[in-house]
Amino acid sequence: MIRSLILLAGLLLLLSVAGGCLAHPTQPDPGPIDIALTPTIKELARHVEILEDPTQRLDLAAALVSVDWQQNRYDNLNFGASSAVWWVRFDLSNDSGQDRRVVLEVDWPLLDWLDVYLIRTGRVIDAWRTGDQRPFASRPLNSRDFAFPLEVPAGQSRQVVMRLALSDGIYDPVPLHLWAPTAYTDARQWDNLLTGAYYGALLALLLYNLLLFFSTRERNFLNYSLYLSLLVLWNLGFLGYGYQYLWPDHSWWNNQVDLGLSWLPHIGAALFVTQYLETRKRMPVFHWLILGVTAGMGIPVCLALADSLGWIAPSAWVVNGAMVMSSVLALLFLSAGVLAVRQGFRSAYWFVFAWSFLTVGVLIYALTSFPGLLPTNMFIKNSVNIGSALEFLFLALALGSRFNQLKDEKLAAERHAVELQTAHANTLELRVQERTSQLREALLRIDELARRDDLTQLLNRRAFNEIYRREFSRSRRENAWIGFCMMDVDHFKRYNDHYGHMAGDEALRRMAGVLSDSLRRPADYAFRLGGEEFGLLLVSAAFPQRAIGLIEQIRTRILDLAIPHVRNGAGVVSSSFGLVLAHAPDLYSPESLYRDADLALYRAKQEGRNRVVVVHPQESRSADIPDD
């Protein structure tokens, strides 16, 4: 594992250095820059002169006449740890026949103070005072970094002078670019697109793991989400997007972001690592070291806050102390992961692999602080973001592995508990459980029998009283159609008189079988209400054609039974149906719906029997109901 990490780090470093060497010349190129010949993008650092002002007292006039100007030797401005103010100057010329514009980009959004002067023959013709300790509105262009529009008329030249200063004296490498205006706009769009993809991917991981936490209540997912959200918040400030979009009017707050907010991701990381690796149980020494170093990082943060409030003098060792403690904490995390792997903790493999990406990315970025060691290219500039994106991706895989492991352990523990319970259960307890189960089943059977008609096995009048009102209320709640149908066997009294009551009972059983076989939906019910009278309850959103067709099908199937009935006009047993269909918002009650179905049945008998009469509640009318 350790050998693999070393090889991975070496490979990334090699690619970064090789890419930088291919992309950037290293020899200085003094002399004015002819913007008429400026390509789409031009690296400026090797064209500029720099002046160190350790006293921090030089003004523009004194700086211009100083004899200590030196040609910059690197492909970016790399001042390292320095409490001095730095001056930068270069000349622009326009040898073409038309006025030209370019955009000067200072690509480091954490510069505290940045003054830019445009000079013609020793006189300042334009100036900007900006920086991340000044309001965002002081920037001439709406950009996360610093961009300045420069115009040079045809046949003229201009000198550009910049003053750079920091409160903490820790300079990151500062790339300088000179752009054609359209090329600058295109580059910003690509930069915003790539950064948006980065934040979008992290946001998707954040939401996904929050959902996993709410569904599983596994704390590892919550700690991962906390760590991820805090890192994104710090990253917004580190890249300048926070000052551009979130707090553009709060320069004091923006000054605290880089160091102050950097503590929060470390807290989130410590909570995640200690929970994920179970350091308190597996490695208590590492556990308390991690918590101690994490708490200790608050000291530089508090000192930096006191510095910003003017309570103490600014000092670079505050920032250096925070960086050292951050590095120690990262090594503790990685070492704890390696130790967990050696202990046989299966899920720690993914953790070590994930954490290695961030460690290598931060290492590459840190090495850029050494002048001339690493050139600046796209990979080195974004090494922290690339490393963190890969880290969170593989940490998500690590969480999945850990969750599966916890689930397996839980299942194994449950299985063991069940085996112990079964092994120690006595015969009396088993018999009690068995008798309790039998009693419960008997009670359920008794209740079911009490709800069934003995002859037809359909639901009886007792069940009808319960189900009818319940389904009526549900149809109103769900805005559904409801249908209630009264069914009566035609001239059944004559059938009993002619064929006998035993034959009548058999005929009722056969017709009940037709009803049971026809009503297969859970929301359709068949009841024997008494004698030869049946009730059919239908609840559905697919009305009314389905209900009418279903009742008509039942009527036909009863005829198809071909039960002889010489005293009926059809020659066989037939039935009459009164069906009421209504929508939930209609004004009716359970009683009025029942009454209307009864009246519809009466109409079916009046009109010759062996038919289905369909009405709505408002179509019903008072009428006498016959006995047969």
Taking alpha carbons only, the member of 287, 390, 397 closest to residue 333 is 287
Looking at residue 261, the DSSP 8-state letter turns out to be I
Taking alpha carbons only, the member of 533, 521, 553, 523 closest to residue 456 is 533
Selected catalytic residue, list 218, 391, 471, 532: 532
Evaluate the omega torsion of the peptide bond into residue 371 and state whether it is cis, within 30 degrees of 0.
Answer: no
Taking alpha carbons only, the member of 374, 355, 354, 356 closest to residue 364 is 374
Three-state SS string over 540-577 comes to ECCCCHHHHHHHHHHHHHHHHCCCECCCCCCCECCEEE
Give CA–CA dist 581/461, Å, rounded.
21
Region class of 212: left (phi > 0), else alpha (psi between -120 and 50), else beta = alpha
Query: Annotated catalytic, 532?
Result: yes
Count CB-CB contacts under 10 A for residue 207.
11
Residues near 520 by Cβ (< 8 Å), separated by ≥ 6? Answer: none
For tokens 């279903």, the residue is 550
291 close to 270: Cβ distance less than 8 angstroms: yes
CA 406, 412, 415, 420 torsion-angle sign = negative
User: Which pair of tokens denotes residue 241?
Assistant: 């997007």
Count CB-CB contacts under 10 A for residue 484.
26
538 close to 482: Cβ distance less than 8 angstroms: yes
User: Which pair of tokens denotes residue 159?
Assistant: 């000198």
Please list, residue by residue across 486-510, b when 16 or more beta carbons sit within 10 angstroms of its beta carbon and e when fewer do: bbbbbbbeebbeebeeeebeebbee
Bridge partners, 42 (sequence order): 178
Taking alpha carbons only, the member of 573, 621, 628 closest to residue 600 is 621
CA 215, 219, 225, 230 torsion-angle sign = positive
Distances (CA, A) of 320 to 296, 297, 342, 606, 613: 13, 11, 33, 102, 92
Count CB-CB contacts under 10 A for residue 123.
6
Separation of CA 334 from chain center: 28
586 close to 617: Cβ distance less than 8 angstroms: yes
DSSP-assigned states of every residue in 418-447: HHHHHHH--HHHHHHHHHHHHHHHHHHHHH
Distances (CA, A) of 15 to 8, 11, 19, 405: 11, 6, 6, 36
Catalytic residues: 532
